[in-house]
Structure 1
Amino acid sequence: MKKINSDGLLLCELQAKAFENSIDKMESSSEIFIRRFMKSKIAKRLDNQSILDSNIQANDILTLVDEEYGATDYGSVKYTHNEMYWIGYIYRYFSFIYDLSSSQVYKIIKPKELRGLFLPYHTMDPSQAIERILEAKGMFIDEETELQRQYEIFKRIRMSKKDK
């Protein structure tokens, strides 16, 4: 896990604004937009940070997603502006600090699940929210935490063998 830096924060802000703007600018449901975005070419540019070398704005990202997949009005459930902003921010923050692609992060946690966590987690530091999400899923990307978890399992197995 790496620390967030100024470039990472710029990427988080750009993606969060694009997600928030999608409510008014995109015809599809929020979940359809998020799925398309997370698997898009522009998401890959955010992943590799090459987007920082351009002058792309949040609304430009929406246009690029539409150009790649075609405009659609599929689905009707729209999340709130605040939910979309937070979801976009969390997805990018997660991708940045764990050095995962957008599609990998999307596979770990889906938009509907993130939306359900908005109220309890939106006031937390993003890294804490992500740690709690991973912990609830039994996933430990941090090596030290994973080693500690494996050691605890080893101790339980060893103790159960001694009892026999």
Structure 2
Amino acid sequence: MEYLTLEKRQLCDIQGRLFELAQKADLDCPFFIESFMNSKTAAALDDVYDRLQWVGEEYLLEELNDEVHGLKKAGATYPLEVMYWTGYLYRYWHYYTNEYSRDIYKIADARTMNECWLGFHTFDSEMAIDDLKEIYRQKNILDNP
């Protein structure tokens, strides 16, 4: 993969901070992650250029809240470190594979990311993504022999 530009790394950081902000706002983390990854807001970030890419995490959270007609409070929460890593890695994943957020979420949902964080957060981002894709591939082989 080509070296990630400063702008792309900044977008990874913004998305990581967005996921942290959701946890700090006491939102249901799995619901937030699923809502975001399947949203028009995430699709805008997947685009080559969209104004939403540079508005900051607070505005992105407001956009998503409006889009889904209210994010759920309470429920399951994940640690801040898990939320940041998940948001960052999902955005990095898009740049690494050119897959869209909606498709990435089908491969590695919120639960998978939470469960894999402990073992994967120290990996190089590309290695973590490759391993998450392999877990998905193996699971599908077992589920559909």
- TM-score tier after normalising by the smaller chain length: 0.7 to 0.9
Does 2:78 match 1:85? no
**Tell me, which stretches of 5 or more residues in structure 2 are unaligned?**
139-145
TM-score by length of 2: 0.85
**What SS does structure 1 have at the residue aligned with 2:137?**
coil
Residue in structure 1 matched with residue 61 of structure 2 by the alignment: 62
After superposition, residues 28-107 of structure 1 pair within 5 angstroms as 28-51=27-50, 55-73=54-72, 76-107=75-106
Q: Percent identity?
A: 27
Alignment-derived partner of residue 24 in structure 1: 24
Q: How many residues align?
A: 138
Equivalents in 1 of 2:100, 2:38: separation in Å?
9
Larger Rg: 1
Aligned-residue Cα RMSD (Å) equals 2.0
Structure 1-normalised TM-score?
A: 0.76
Identify the residue that residue 4 of structure 2 maps to in structure 1: 4
Aligned-pair CA distance for 1:18 = 0.2
Query: 8 Å contact 1:12–1:89 — kept in the other structure?
Result: yes
Question: Is 1:127 matched up with 2:130?
Answer: no
Give ranges in structure 1 of 5+ residues lacking alignment.
140-164
Residue 108 of structure 2 is matched in structure 1 by 109
**1:98 alignment partner AA:** T
**Distance in 1 separating the partners of 2:120 and 2:53:** 32
Paired residue secondary structure (2:99): coil
Residue 148 of structure 1 aligns with which residue? Answer: none
